[in-house]
């Protein structure tokens, strides 16, 4: 498939360098150990991130002065693929580097960049995203968390739900309302909130997947102008620029690729590969996983060329996440109920990879923009249907 995605010799070398690091025994042991932790505990594989950070491999598309490699979004996409293909959850990287770090890089003051980016790039600090609220996800403009003026700063009050890794992070990018007006999008401000502070309470919100959600109460934490990212009241612009850059479908396509590989092995080992009922569907999904990866890479290449395309990005995100979800469902049919034994169980099939995929699958079509919202963009902006 890589023949269709032309990479330079340097980019292939970069992929090889990543593989070499992610195949080291210490990394593989850490990945395996993390999958066997009691339910509800997670390491976030921060050690693995630090190893990458030490070698400048974490924030590859940032300038060298901020701890990056001066690469492009192509190297970033290669990194995401390799993390996932080697079983390293990409959540810490996506949140801290791809969303918060990128937002600081694009909209931060020189002081904010110098203060925050090198630590993120080294993997010494991590960051999370506090956007969603109880009942408010897709329609972010309705958010109710408020920033009340307090001297030369503000105090934040509100509840943020469904964030990931906040309990392990040092700071978060938080959206709050600084003013109310006739237009909902106006009056939202983004704050860089230190999380280990008085006025921040974090509770776990358990869910199906391996990684917990956090339920965060902001109870008067104080922030100042130095913590504002971008302009006061104009955070919507930042949200709209940064979130679509996360939507390339690269992550879901890589997850589907990894799962398909494991599923084909399992089907071959159990004789299912030649059973017509499964063979045709596996063949079909094999073609769709390839298509998902190509759509994702098309999107990455458009971004590389400075031609971001909302419709391409929505198409790739929707398609790749739906294919990954369908594969997880088929995996259960191929493996039978043994497929839902997790990695902690000695009898787990394929080290619990099918169980983990099945539990992660529903979130893929929700996080970073739901499938329905992606199809809305495709329908209205892409096909010109009335909104």
CB of 260 to ligand FAD, least distance (A): 21
Q: Which of 129, 147, 300, 343 binds ligand FAD (CB under 6 A)?
A: 129
Rule CB under 6 A: is residue 144 a binding residue for ligand FAD?
no
Q: Does 370 bind ligand FAD (CB under 6 A)?
A: yes
What gap in Å lies between CA 158 and CA 349, rounded to an integer?
43
Q: Is 381 in the site for ligand FAD (CB under 6 A)?
A: no
Q: What are phi and psi of 344, to 5 degrees?
A: -75, -15
Kindly indicate which of the ranges 4-12, 159-167, 185-193, 341-349 contains the residues binding ligand FAD, using the contact rule CB under 6 A: 159-167
> Which residue among 118, 363, 377, 378 contacts ligand FAD (CB under 6 A)?
363
List, in sequence order, every residue forming a beta bridge with 130; answer none if it has no partner. Answer: 174
Question: At its nearest, how many Å lie between ligand FAD and the CB of residue 299?
Answer: 19
Q: Is 171 in the site for ligand FAD (CB under 6 A)?
A: no
Q: Does 137 bind ligand FAD (CB under 6 A)?
A: yes
Asked if residue 243 binds ligand FAD (CB under 6 A), the reply is no
Q: How far is the CB of 369 from ligand FAD (least distance, A)?
A: 7
Is residue 324 part of the contact set for ligand FAD (CB under 6 A)?
no
Neighbours of 233 (CB within 10 A): 16
Contact in structure between 66 and 117 (CB atoms under 8 Å): yes
CA distances from 105 to 37, 61, 62, 232, 233 (A): 35, 11, 8, 17, 19
Q: How many residues line the site for ligand FAD (CB under 6 A)? A: 18
If DSSP codes are grouped into helix, strand and coil, which group holds residue 12? helix
Question: Residue 179 interacts with ligand FAD (CB under 6 A)?
Answer: no
Query: Could you tell me the CA-to-CA distances from 251 to 77, 94, 113, 236, 266 in Å, in that order?
Result: 8, 9, 26, 25, 23
Encoded tokens for 247: 């939507």
CB-CB contact of 170 with 95 (8 Å)? no
Longest Cα–Cα distance in the chain = 71
Which residues would be at the binding site for ligand FAD (CB under 6 A)? Answer: 95, 128-132, 137-138, 162-164, 363, 366-367, 370, 372-373, 376
């Amino acid at each position: 498939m890589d023949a269709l995605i032309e990479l330079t010799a340097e980019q292939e070398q970069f992929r090889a360098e990543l593989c070499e690091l992610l195949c080291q025994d210490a990394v593989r042991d850490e990945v395996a150990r993390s999958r066997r932790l009691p339910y509800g505990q997670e390491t976030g594989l921060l050690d693995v991130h630090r190893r990458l950070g030490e070698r400048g491999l974490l924030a590859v598309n940032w300038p060298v002065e901020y701890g990056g490699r001066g690469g492009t979004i192509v190297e970033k996409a290669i990194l995401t693929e390799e993390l996932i293909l080697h079983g390293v959850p990409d959540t810490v990287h996506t949140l801290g580097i791809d969303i918060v770090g990128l937002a600081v890089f694009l909209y931060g003051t020189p002081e904010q960049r110098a203060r925050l980016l090198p630590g993120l790039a080294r993997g010494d600090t991590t960051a999370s995203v506090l956007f969603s609220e109880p009942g408010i996800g897709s329609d972010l403009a309705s958010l109710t968390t408020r920033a009340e003026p307090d001297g030369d700063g503000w105090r934040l009050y509100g509840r943020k739900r469904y964030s990931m890794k906040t309990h392990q992070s040092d700071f978060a990018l938080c959206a709050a309302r600084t003013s109310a007006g006739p237009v909902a999008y106006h009056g939202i401000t983004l704050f860089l909130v230190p999380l280990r502070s008085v006025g921040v309470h974090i509770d776990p919100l358990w869910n199906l997947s391996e990684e917990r959600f956090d339920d965060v109460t902001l109870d008067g934490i104080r922030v100042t102008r130095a913590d504002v990212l971008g302009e006061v009241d104009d955070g919507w612009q930042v949200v709209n620029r940064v979130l679509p850059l996360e939507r390339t479908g690269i992550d879901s396509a890589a997850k589907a690729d990894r799962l398909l590989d494991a599923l084909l092995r399992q089907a071959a080992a159990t004789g299912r590969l030649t059973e017509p009922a499964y063979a045709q569907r596996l063949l079909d999904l094999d073609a769709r996983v390839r298509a998902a990866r190509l759509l994702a890479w098309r999107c990455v290449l458009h971004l590389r060329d400075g031609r971001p395309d909302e419709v391409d990005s929505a198409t790739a995100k929707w398609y790749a996440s739906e294919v990954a979800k369908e594969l997880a469902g088929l995996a259960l049919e191929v493996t039978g109920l043994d497929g839902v034994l997790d990695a902690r169980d000695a009898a787990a099939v394929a080290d619990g990879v099918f169980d983990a995929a099945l539990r992660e699958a529903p979130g893929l079509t929700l996080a970073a923009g739901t499938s329905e919202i992606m199809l809305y963009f495709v329908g209205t902006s892409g096909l010109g249907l009335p909104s």
